[in-house]
Amino acid sequence: MNELNRLRIRTVHPKENFSIIDIENIKRDIKSICRGVAGKHMVEFIDNYEDPYQLNLIKIVDPGDNCINNLPPADYDLDGGFVGRKKEIKEIKNKLYSKLDRIITIMGAGGVGKTALALEVAKRIVEDEKNPFRAIIWFSAKEERLTDIEIVKIEPSIKNLQQLLNDVLQVIDRIAYENYQEADVPIEYCVRYVHKRFEEFDREYLLIIDNLETILENEPLIRFIEDAPCKLLITSRIGLGKLERPFQLKKLIESDSLCNGV
């Protein structure tokens, strides 16, 4: 069972290497479990499925009428889950649910846990029955990632406004995205269309931009962030300096790290 759980965790982390041998091990373990319960149909499905190796990784998650999102898998899930920050999660959620502030910026030194906190807040919102958002769209401007032994270079998901607009449209209106790609529509038109879509529904959209400091000098991108009619949650060492509600994140204290958040 421990091995099956390890494989389960790896299946939801696309960055993990996942081989045909792993797939066969999953099939074997599931069949073993199903024989101990009312799992006859599951065993038959596994045995008769003709092409078990063609796995489609679905980026966009649309849980019915709840909240469309493209949230990435959390690194901390491989290390036992998110720990602590109960107070911070509650406070940031309250700010995002409030009508008072449109932009919330989690600020703090590198390595203090800004990314993990923003992702955990987003996951809690998706699971919340009172979730006010129609969609949550995640962007990462990170150029480096800290591993257990070193800092490695990574490719950010957004470097400019066009990339951000493309990601937004892929989540909220894929048909429009494909049409714009074929027609090579001017970026100004795309901006107006995205703004219009943001304003069409009673429920708001939430954009989350991780590591804003790496794109602060990109004026068109920052202008979109400042003008967009939606909620924004930002993580950064340096804030926008205007229009935002800063949330200063301090180092996790030992007493908080010993207990999990809600």
Contacts of 222 (CB under 8 A, 6+ apart): 215, 216, 240
Orientation of helix 2-11 relative to helix 20-34, angle to 10°: 130
pLDDT of residue 20: 54
Summarize pLDDT for 202-227 with one digit per residue, the tens: 789 999 999 988 888 889 999 999 99
pLDDT level of residue 55 (50, 70, 90 thresholds): very low
Mean residue pLDDT across the chain: 77
pLDDT level of residue 52 (50, 70, 90 thresholds): very low
Q: What number is the average pLDDT over the span 59-70?
A: 63
Q: What is the CATH number of domain 68-257?
A: 3.40.50.300
pLDDT of residue 80: 55
Q: Which residue has the higher pLDDT, 74 or 240?
A: 240
Token code pair at residue 229: 């009619």
Q: Please tell me the distance from the alpha carbon of residue 115 to that of residue 124, in angstroms, as a whole number.
A: 14
User: Which H or E run includes 207?
Assistant: strand 204-210
Nearest C-alpha neighbor of 236 from the set 142, 146, 108, 145: 108
25, 67, 168, 188 from 224: Cα distances, Å:
47, 23, 12, 11
Domain with CATH 3.40.50.300 in the chain: 68-257
Neighbour-count burial of 2, counting CB atoms closer than 10 A to its CB (0-12 exposed, 13-18 middle, 19+ buried): exposed
Residue 27 has pLDDT above 70, yes or no: no
pLDDT of residue 155: 73
Q: What number is the average pLDDT over the span 130-158?
A: 78
